[in-house]
Amino acid sequence: MANVTPKEMAKRGIVSGTYGHRLEVLNNMLELSKKKPTFMERGQYLNIAYAYIEEILVGLIAHHELPMDANPDRESDDTHRYHEAVLKAIKNSSQTELRFLRGPVAPMLADAKRFRNEYKDYKKTNSEDGEALRPTLEAMADSFETGFPMIYKALKEAVRKSGLMGNRLN
1 is a domain residue: no
- Which of the residue ranges 26-35, 65-74, 109-118, 119-128 would you say has the lowest mean pLDDT? 65-74
168 is a domain residue: no
Q: Dihedral through CA 130, CA 135, CA 136, CA 139, nearest 10?
A: 140
166 is a domain residue: no
146 is a domain residue: yes
70 is a domain residue: yes
Structural domain range at position 140:
6-161
Residues whose CB is less than 8 angstroms from the CB of residue 147 and which lie 6 or more positions away in sequence, other chains included? 105, 108, 111, 112
32 is a domain residue: yes
Q: How far apart are CA 115 and CA 137, in angstroms?
A: 7
169 is a domain residue: no
Q: How far apart are CA 45 and CA 36, in angstroms?
A: 11
Asked whether the predicted pLDDT for residue 1 surpasses 70, the reply is no
What does pTM read for this prediction? 0.81
